[in-house]
């Protein structure tokens, strides 16, 4: 383990190791986008085009990354984004990621479509975490999820708005993605090549959607779960439903999937404490602009009315700073930390966060910046 970790210097190193260790269907689920994947690629490419303004002869000995995200003190303004089926990239993945986030002093957000349940994470991590909610047709189930998140003392609710219908993800269709995986001959051959994954998965019983199985009438096995899930994402979702959730949830409410200035204004009017500028990692509307390209427009119209968080294409600490300099108050890591999880489990997530933190600190120094809360577009070459 020590030899492997000593060779990992970047998020890309973690990605390559995760690709070798995780079964193809789960790696492709994390690493893929919808349709042609043009928006997925644009998220990374547009960030990489933004150059920094190098400054010298500034006292940079004391640099601070500490900040707040919706009132929560954080070691750096970075949160672990909600990732569906995270627990199939590595056994008990959501628990391991939450532990790593706690050790790093950053928020962890659990997905509705997680393998480990809300209660699993709460039992294993004695710190408040965030919960991400999908609006399902079964409003009674949605209400029960909100109640369970409150009982688990989740400190923020992240409501995802951009999954009313599912984008075509061709890699998933070709791989026959399912949870638990279907025991087809090609999957068995894949497992022979992935001993690390098999050994870890053999140690846990958590292989289904823990927030759903046992909590919905009539859903007791894989076949009934699949049928229920496919029918539940709700194309009728409107702002009235967002207002309904706002009334039910008394804590911090974060709205995810905002890519338009008018939608940002509506979110603020309905009492959102924060919004996340996000195109779902390029997994929904292919051909949409990159998240970073719309961020300045949204921060311009919202001002200081609520916190603006950013999601999409973050693969380094430098990407975090690019988003922060253009107005974000915090950044969500998705694929970056899941690469770490697939590569080395909890240790890989910790390593991911260490890499991000070091790259943030060094880049701030090279740009003559000492406080991450005081960044502006002046540190960029635009």
Q: What are the tens digits of pLDDT across the range 285-303?
A: 999 999 999 999 999 999 8
pLDDT digit string (tens) for 189-213? 888 889 889 999 999 999 888 999 8
Contact 342, 378 (CB under 8 A): no
pLDDT at 220: 63
pLDDT digit string (tens) for 244-269? 999 999 999 999 999 999 999 999 99
For 279, the token pair is 């195109």
Mean pLDDT over 162-167 rounds to 92
pLDDT at 222: 55
| Three-state secondary-structure class, residue 27 | helix
pLDDT at 4: 73
Active site residue ranges? 280
pLDDT at 132: 98
Mean pLDDT over 270-284 rounds to 97
Distance CA 15, CA 45 (A): 17
pLDDT digit string (tens) for 331-370? 999 999 999 999 999 999 999 999 999 999 999 999 999 9
In a domain, 122, yes or no: yes
pLDDT digit string (tens) for 214-237? 888 777 655 566 677 778 889 999
Q: Mean pLDDT in the chain?
A: 94
Mean pLDDT over 174-199 rounds to 80
In a domain, 354, yes or no: yes
Distance CA 18, CA 20 (A): 5
pTM score over 0.85: yes
Distance CA 47, CA 196 (A): 33
In a domain, 376, yes or no: no
Tell me how many domains the chain contains. Answer: 1
pLDDT at 126: 86
Q: Picking from 1-5, 21-25, 168-172, 233-237, which range would have the lowest pLDDT averaged per residue?
A: 1-5
Tell me: pLDDT of 152 over 80: yes
Mean pLDDT over 113-123 rounds to 97
The position carrying tokens 């949605």 is 142
Residue 188 pLDDT grade (very low, low, confident, very high; cuts 50, 70, 90)? confident
In a domain, 377, yes or no: no
Mean pLDDT over 3-16 rounds to 90
- Angle, CA of 163, 168 and 173, to the nearest 5°: 120
Find residue 156's DSSP bridge partners.
130, 252
Distance CA 354, CA 13 (A): 14
pLDDT at 185: 78
pLDDT digit string (tens) for 64-90? 999 999 999 999 999 999 999 999 999
Contact 297, 268 (CB under 8 A): no
Tell me: pLDDT of 167 over 70: yes
Residue 179 pLDDT grade (very low, low, confident, very high; cuts 50, 70, 90)? low
Other C-beta atoms within 10 Å of 130: how many?
A: 25
Mean pLDDT over 44-48 rounds to 98
pLDDT at 208: 86
Contact 69, 109 (CB under 8 A): no
In a domain, 97, yes or no: yes
Find residue 254's DSSP bridge partners.
158, 274
Tell me: pLDDT of 272 over 70: yes
The enclosing domain of 304 has a CATH number of: 3.20.20.70
Residues spanned by the domain of 116? 2-368
């Amino acid at each position: 383990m020590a030899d492997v970790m000593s060779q990992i210097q970047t998020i890309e190193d973690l990605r390559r190791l995760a690709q070798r260790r995780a079964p193809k269907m789960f790696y492709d689920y994390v690493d893929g986008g919808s349709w042609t994947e043009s928006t997925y690629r644009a998220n990374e490419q547009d960030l990489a085009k933004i150059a920094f303004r190098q400054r010298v002869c500034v006292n940079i000995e004391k640099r601070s990354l500490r900040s707040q995200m919706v009132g929560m003190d954080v070691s750096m303004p970075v949160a672990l984004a909600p990732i569906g089926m995270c627990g199939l990239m590595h056994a008990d993945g959501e628990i391991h990621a939450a532990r790593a986030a706690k050790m790093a002093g950053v928020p962890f957000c659990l997905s509705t479509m997680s393998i480990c349940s809300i209660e699993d994470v709460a039992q294993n991590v004695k710190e408040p975490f965030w919960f991400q909610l999908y609006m399902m047709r079964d409003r009674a189930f949605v209400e029960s999820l909100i109640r369970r998140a409150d009982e688990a003392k989740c400190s923020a609710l992240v409501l995802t708005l951009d999954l009313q219908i599912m984008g075509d993800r061709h890699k998933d269709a070709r791989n026959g993605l399912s949870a638990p995986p279907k025991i087809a001959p090609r999957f068995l051959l894949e497992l022979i090549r992935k001993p690390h994954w098999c050994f870890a998965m053999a140690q846990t019983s958590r292989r289904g959607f823990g927030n759903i199985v046992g909590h919905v009438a009539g859903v007791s096995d894989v076949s009934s779960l699949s049928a229920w899930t496919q029918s539940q994402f709700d194309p009728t979702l409107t702002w009235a439903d967002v207002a309904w959730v706002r009334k039910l949830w008394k804590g911090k409410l974060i709205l995810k999937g905002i890519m338009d200035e008018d939608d940002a204004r509506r979110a603020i009017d309905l009492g959102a404490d924060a919004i996340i500028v996000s195109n779902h990692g390029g997994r929904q509307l292919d051909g949409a602009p990159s998240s970073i390209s719309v961020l300045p427009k949204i921060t311009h119209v919202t001002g200081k009315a609520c916190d603006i968080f950013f999601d999409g294409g973050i693969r380094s600490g430098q990407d975090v700073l690019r988003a922060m300099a253009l107005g974000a108050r915090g950044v969500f890591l998705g694929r970056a930390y899941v690469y770490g999880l697939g590569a080395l489990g909890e240790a890989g997530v910790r390593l991911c966060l260490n890499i991000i933190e070091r790259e943030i600190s060094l880049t701030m120094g090279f740009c003559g910046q000492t406080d991450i809360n005081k960044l502006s577009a002046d540190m960029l070459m635009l």
